[in-house]
Amino acid sequence: MPTAARERLLDAADRLFHAEGVRAVGVERLLAESGVGRASFYRHFPGKDDLVVAVLERRLARWREAFAASVESRGGGVAAVFEELADQVIAPGFRGCPAINAIIEAADPGSATHALGAAHKEALVAFLVPLTGDEERARQVLLLVDGALVTALREPGGAPVRRAGEIAAGLGLR
């Protein structure tokens, strides 16, 4: 059963990691922001990396659930994927894809954080297969999605995602 201290740590870490990045936020800052003591921190998480994984698991699971519901409400096709993502990148606080950010920050490809980011991308491929008809086309759409999300950090606004959606449509993926 989750404790209030664990939830406060997860909430504070989620907010800070999203706003500033994992490397920029140290344990001392997490303790101060969450109001949780050091002993309690280590009772719940053997170290910061374990907290990072827990935060990322929670954030990505919530995102996938909300994303799937939104895509379905928009008609359930590939075009709906890009419509939803275009709305996400123009929302206040957009900081890119948490999985991509985690993979970049976790320099070690063998780390749990890197593996979790990669697993999230594989879950997206599985989500896209029914929309595209096969795994290869799902991977093509994911490549467009990832490129659009990264480009949206450089070119604020929904234009990069809309362009990626147009490319997908040009490939016959609607």
Residue 154 has pLDDT above 90, yes or no: yes
Using alpha carbons only, give the angle 116, 3, 55 rounded to the nearest 5 degrees: 20
pTM: 0.90
> Any idea where the domains of the chain sit in the sequence?
1-45, 55-170
- Residue 84 near residue 147, CB atoms below 8 Å: no
Q: Answer positive or negative: Cα dihedral of 69, 99, 151, 17.
A: positive
> Candidates 3.30.540.10, 3.20.20.70, 1.10.10.10, 1.10.10.60; correct CATH number of 1-45?
1.10.10.60
3-42 per-position pLDDT tens digit: 799 999 999 999 999 999 888 999 999 999 999 999 999 9
Tell me the CATH number for domain 55-170: 1.10.357.10
93-138 per-position pLDDT tens digit: 999 999 999 999 887 899 999 999 999 999 999 999 999 999 999 9
Q: How far apart are CA 96 and CA 164, in angstroms?
A: 16
pLDDT for residue 161: 97
pLDDT for residue 100: 95
